[in-house]
């Protein structure tokens, strides 16, 4: 009888849905990589109002199974040296790179990603690396980016995802973020290590 009562309550007496988990993320990448545009599109903001981030901004990006509180840091030369001051409390990292950028910018992006992957506050966190601007003719493939950025040896043992993206295919961007959410959820269920 007690079992039937529990089943009846589960079917008929549902309360409000459980709250979605929230994750605090940091989003980094060079100026012009498309961080602001991608995050604004994910938040359904009008593309006409997008202004490049000069310091930092915070956006709550809603997904069906989680809310991502994304702290986007500006990517200009004079701001990048302060990135590490904003890492504390992050549960994951989004790194956006312009896959169609110049060799010099790609080298700078590579160095910044390497620094982030090795930073004490970020090195154990899941990374979503977005190779943006795939719609441009000069865009490098994900395989080229993976090789150039030396991700296999550098990120061995770390949890990272490298995905192509562009504003023309926001479904692919959402799918990439869903993969990151999966990594964040897995991290929640890991037994704590002493």
Binding residues for GTP, by number, are 29-36, 75, 132-135
- 188 by Cβ neighbours in 10 Å (0-12 / 13-18 / 19+) ranks as exposed
* Helix (H), strand (E) at residue 11: helix 2-12
| Model confidence, pTM | 0.87
Binding residues for Mg(2+), by number, are 36, 53
CATH of domain 22-189: 3.40.50.300
Report how far residue 161's alpha carbon sits from residue 180's, in angstroms, rounded to the nearest whole number: 7
What values do phi and psi take at 41, rounded to 5?
-65, -40
Name the DSSP class of 64: S
Report how far residue 55's alpha carbon sits from residue 74's, in angstroms, rounded to the nearest whole number: 5
Average pLDDT over residues 86-112: 97
Residue 191 has pLDDT above 60, yes or no: no
pLDDT above 70 covers a percentage of the chain that reads: 87
**Residue 79 structure tokens:** 């701001």
Among the listed ranges 18-22, 44-48, 61-65, which one has the minimum average pLDDT value? 44-48
Binding residues, by number, are 29-36, 53, 75, 132-135
Contact 61, 39 (CB under 8 A): yes
Q: Give the pLDDT confidence of 8-34 residue by residue, as tens digits.
A: 444 555 666 668 899 999 999 999 999
């Amino acid at each position: 009888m007690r079992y039937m009562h529990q089943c009846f309550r589960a079917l008929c007496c549902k309360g409000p849905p459980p709250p979605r988990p929230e994750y605090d993320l940091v989003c980094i990448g060079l100026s012009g990589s498309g961080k602001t545009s991608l995050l604004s599109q994910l938040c359904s903001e009008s593309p006409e109002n997008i202004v490049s981030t000069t310091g930092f901004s915070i956006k709550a990006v809603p997904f069906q199974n989680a809310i991502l509180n994304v702290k986007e840091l500006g990517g200009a030369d004079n701001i990048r040296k302060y990135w590490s001051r904003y890492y504390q409390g992050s549960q994951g990292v989004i790194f956006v790179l312009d896959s169609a950028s110049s060799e010099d910018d790609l080298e700078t992006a590579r160095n910044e990603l390497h620094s982030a992957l090795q930073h004490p506050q970020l090195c154990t966190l899941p990374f979503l690396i977005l190779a943006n601007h795939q719609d441009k003719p000069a865009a490098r493939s994900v395989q080229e980016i993976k090789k150039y950025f030396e991700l296999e040896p550098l990120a061995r043992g770390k949890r990272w995802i490298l995905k192509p993206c562009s504003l023309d295919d926001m479904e692919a961007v959402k799918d990439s973020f869903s993969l990151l959410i999966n990594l964040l959820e897995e991290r929640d269920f890991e037994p704590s290590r002493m």
